[in-house]
Structure 1
Amino acid sequence: MIISGMDQLRDTRTYRLVLTGGPCGGKTTSQARLSTFFENLGWKVYRVPETATVLISCKFQENLLKTMLQIENTFFELGRTSRRNTLIICDRGAMDASAFITREQWESIMAANGWNNVELRDNRYDHIIHLVSAAKGAEDFYTLEDHACRSENIELARELDDKAASAWIGHPYFDVIDNSTPFEEKIRRVIASVCHKVGIDPGDRLVTNSKKRKFLIKGPLPPDSAFPPFEDFDVVHHYLTSATPEVEARLRKRGQNGHWSYTHTIRKPRIHDQAVEVKTQLTHRDYVNFLSQSDYLHFPIYKTRRCFLLQNQYFQLDMYRKPSHPRCDSLILLETYSALNDDQLQASLPEFLEIEREVTGDPAFSMYNLSLLADWHNTPRVLNALKEFHNGHTNGVAEKNKRNIE
């Protein structure tokens, strides 16, 4: 469970959500249902006009992108000044425009306006949800009816869906909602995904079984050409001192080509068997100030994170690097969130990677333990976690005892 907030000093928060995807994916229905759900909880909900649809139909023009950003900024400011928690739903976002021009054209526009992908993708929006087109996995339900602007056949719809997904690869909170369930459940998965990120417990109304899964990868990695399109990021984590032992605090610096985003995370005790994480975006100045609270009992964690999509499954490959603790030497971990059963998930894992074993829930591979300066095996906290982990496997209920500290 992740709670995201833009304004540390306010009791309310603004959550900026992008709904993207191919034609006939459920974006319109999702907007309506999200609005109703969060308004019933007392939130203020804004729906940004569909400027991005104009961008796509007009082949994209720079001035229209500027218009879209200005419209969004107006709604973001309304959220910032609101006295209530606010959800802002964007029907597509800035990066969708990049999918329909060449990479060279996009980079030229970025340079001309002083923009960069980290700002437009990672820092601008809190959460991206890609709704896979019905043309991929639910072809019987793909239709051009009731949509005056839709003229794509199934082949084109699949192509557009792939392009829209590729545009957002690399965002730290990117969820892909496929067509593996009936449409009504697909919409519930969308709402549950947002609830999970903002820290709302919806009870039994939106039951989902998507969980974080982690796998140990044997190196060396194959050449880059073996991967589908990917984005690489430099990531640095620092653990901070905490007055309460069961509460963890850490900083994350994440970027590309010298452009960075900064996040402060507080991990609280579990609620209803879910970890609660309060995530706040920081300015560079705030990040530097927080660094003074670094915990000397932990090494900083340095890694390269590679993000890619494969068969509608979003993967993050973490390649640990120096000067992390020596126990991290040559360590490579693959992560994904999935509701698939074990056999289905195994079939969807990248065949070009040599997977040694699944390490979901194993304290030996939690980032917190990997960063500890001392021999973490003998600490009371880890001994208890190991006991729970091994008892869980013995009793066949390991899921109950999982505690991934990352």
Structure 2
Amino acid sequence: MSINKIVFTGAPCSGKTEVLRKLEKYYKDKIDCVFVCKEAASEVKKSRTEFLDMYDFQRAVYEKQIENENKIEEQIKDLADKNVLVFYDRGVCDGYSYVYDENRFFNIIGESRYTSFFRYDTALLFEICYENDYNKSNVRTEDYADALKLQDKIISCYVGHPHLRYIKSAQTFDEKIKRVIEEIDFILQEKEIEKKYLIKYPSYDDLMSYNPFICDISQTYLLSNLGSHRVRERRYKNESIYYETLKVRITPSECYESERIITKEEYYELLKSADPNKNTINKKRCCFLYKGKYFELDLFDFWDDKAFLEVELKNINEAFNLPERIKIIKDVSDDEHYKNNYLAGMKL
């Protein structure tokens, strides 16, 4: 049984709220329990409370968001024997898109943009609609140009989430719904399909042209008879999040993946079962969006001439564009000698 938490975000008039309404009905016939966490900002605006400034307003939105999320947590805590799907109409991270001073906002709410990522297993980022489809409302006051600027801020706030998927705009609402259902159905399979490329070590200018989110990862493999069992510390500035992951490979480029966030104490306890024949892999992960696909570029401390570029797909034949400023050496998706598990066993 599983609980999947998916946050919907995007610019005003990107269709996320309307899509969410349809999906709630669609998945109620397919999943044991479906919950929707309503958009907190709309609720706060409807209260007609007066606020000192945008920071004061976003503080109220944050408090309402936490209240709404806690109510859902109370409902799902006794559903361990059920398959549960939770949709969030925007998340805590969205508040950072509307303020200029990230540190000031952090001091107000006490939760960083980075740690807010991990409230949600997956983030679906909706591209704004086409200009001729854009319309204002009582709670949407931005014109199209302002909405586009806000979209850029939302993207910059969410890039770095470990599981981000970009939902491109579509000519029809039905087409957009279809795209979202394809993404969610794939997520629910708990499979990973990726293309992996060996690349030349990128120059600083080439890498920074993609405005990446950069974090540090320490990855340790554990003794296991089931598959690739590992723990990972993911660090950004002075904050760490810990994971336990089990991968069971189906094909060289596909695997079933079970992943959970663990406590620091659990992480260090699991490290006691580290495979003595494998090194801890240390790398810098650079995450960025390019033409609708989410890329992860890994720089290792034992290579100064090459690196890896990875992209997750819904199917192995899905079309996508490779970043033009990244120099590809070769596709190593099916080569076991370039799996992190293999590299960890080498004398580096």
TM-score (norm 1): 0.74
Instruction: Describe how 1:254-265 pairs up with structure 2 within 5 A.
Output: 254-265=234-245
The CA deviation at 1:341 is 10
Is residue 55–residue 61 contact of structure 1 (8 Å, CA) maintained in 2?
A: no
The CA deviation at 1:240 is 0.9
2:104 to 98, 101, 108: 108
1:82 counterpart SS class: coil
Name the CA shift for 1:43/1:165 in 2 (closer, same or farther; >3 Å). farther
1:333 to 302, 308, 330: 308
Q: Which residue of 1 aligns with 2:122?
A: 127
The CA deviation at 1:237 is 0.9
Name the CA shift for 1:318/1:191 in 2 (closer, same or farther; >3 Å). same
Is residue 8–residue 90 contact of structure 2 (8 Å, CA) maintained in 1?
A: yes
**Amino acid in structure 2 at the alignment position of 1:360:** S
Task: Calculate percent identity across the aligned residue pairs.
Answer: 25
Say how many residue pairs are matched.
Answer: 338
Name the CA shift for 1:237/1:56 in 2 (closer, same or farther; >3 Å). farther
- Over the aligned positions, Cα root-mean-square deviation in angstroms equals 3.1
- In 1, Cα distance between equivalents of 2:248 and 2:316: 28
Instruction: Describe how 1:6-155 pairs up with structure 2 within 5 A.
Output: 12-53=1-42, 59=54, 60-83=57-80, 84-102=82-100, 104=101, 106-121=102-117, 123-135=118-130, 139-140=131-132, 142-144=133-135, 148-155=138-145
Name the CA shift for 1:181/1:292 in 2 (closer, same or farther; >3 Å). farther
- In 2, Cα distance between equivalents of 1:188 and 1:258: 40
Q: Which residue of 1 aligns with 2:161?
A: 171
1:373 counterpart SS class: coil
1:223 counterpart SS class: helix
Is residue 14–residue 85 contact of structure 1 (8 Å, CA) maintained in 2?
A: yes
Q: Which residue of 1 aligns with 2:267?
A: 287
The CA deviation at 1:159 is 2.1
**Amino acid in structure 2 at the alignment position of 1:30:** V
The CA deviation at 1:338 is 5.0
Is residue 194–residue 316 contact of structure 2 (8 Å, CA) maintained in 1?
A: no
Q: What are the ranges of 5 or more consecutive residues in structure 1 without an aligned counterpart?
A: 1-11, 202-209, 323-327, 376-406
TM-score (norm 2): 0.85
Is residue 37–residue 69 contact of structure 2 (8 Å, CA) maintained in 1?
A: yes
Q: What are the ranges of 5 or more consecutive residues in structure 2 without an aligned counterpart?
A: none
- In 1, Cα distance between equivalents of 2:317 and 2:20: 32
- In 2, Cα distance between equivalents of 1:344 and 1:274: 17
The CA deviation at 1:242 is 1.0
CA deviation profile, 1:44-88 (whole Å, cap 9, x unmatched): 111112113467998443233122222212212322222522222
- In 2, Cα distance between equivalents of 1:144 and 1:180: 16
Bigger Cα displacement from structure 2, 286-295 vs 65-74: 65-74
Regions of 4+ moved over 6 Å: 55-58, 339-344
- In 1, Cα distance between equivalents of 2:316 and 2:122: 25
CA deviation profile, 1:28-55 (whole Å, cap 9, x unmatched): 2331333233321242111112113467
